[in-house]
Amino acid sequence: MGKLKDKVAVITGATSGMALATAKLFVEEGAYVFITGRRQKLLDDAVKAIGRNVTGVQGDAANLLDLDRLYQTVKAEKGRIDVLFASAGTGALAPIGQITEEQFDTSFGLNVRGTLFTVQKALPLFTDGGSIIMNGSIATVKGFPAFSVYSASKAAIRSFARTWTVDLKARNIRVNVLSPGTIDTPILEGLPRESVDAFVALIPRGTMGRPEEIATAALFLASSDSSFVTGIELFVDGGVAQI
């Protein structure tokens, strides 16, 4: 029997990489999954790759009307949510002195504002005893150059987990942060090769993580295996944040 048998999960920003791998694993473990993405073609491709027990809803997690449409679809099709992985995020990298207003607004608009309302708007459909997972980053505890805005936006996610754990304790809804390190996903294509190599050099095992390694960690936080785990930040980074 799958660890998520008959559960209903919502995963935002799941058209590629870690979130797509997580959606695939959740379905393999028995869940029905709703995924979102901004680009319809990529969303259609992701739905096809998952293959079954999935609904794709086009939308931007930073757009509150899109979030309303997502949850209207979930309510109409399944009527509840057992697991939410608020994964959608972005990063605008620039050193202090070169940060633009647009970069700040984009990062905080999706990573902070978007995550907040992704969670808040899900609550009326949420099953008591359910699991909320938010996508963090090791950048919250490391001092990477040019990462100040991105790091600060992800630090807000960590703060959300602490306060929402208390806010939602009467409903026994667990809230945790999953913080990846350097993972081999398409998002790295936008970084200079020397930057990627520098990040890999920090990893004790000497290789990047795989999306599937994030997915298995997300499964742990989503399932009853982590029934006594809430309010934490789980680093899945090969040890980078710990040394």
Average pLDDT on 69-86 reads: 98
* Per-residue pLDDT band at 189 (split at 50, 70, 90): confident
- How high does pLDDT run on average in the chain? 95
**Tokens of residue 12, six digits:** 């935002």
Does the residue 240 lie in any domain? no
Contacting residues for 41 by C-beta, under 8 A, at least 6 apart: none
32 flagged as catalytic: no
Q: Could you tell me the residue range of the domain that residue 99 belongs to?
A: 8-234
Q: CB of 42 within 8 A of CB of 16?
A: yes
List the CATH number of the domain containing 77.
3.40.50.720
In this structure, how many other beta carbons lie within 10 angstroms of the beta carbon of residue 213? 19
Please check whether residue 167 lies inside any domain of the structure.
yes
Whether the CB-CB separation of 173 and 218 falls below 8 Å is answered with no
Higher-confidence residue: 205 or 59? 59
Does residue 243 lie within any of the structural domains?
no
Q: Establish if 3 belongs to a structural domain.
A: no
Q: How many domains does the chain have?
A: 1
- The catalytic residue among 71, 126, 147, 150 is 150
pLDDT tens digits for range 148-164: 999 999 999 999 999 99
C-alpha dist (Å) from residue 22 to 11, 79, 150, 218, 237: 8, 22, 23, 7, 16
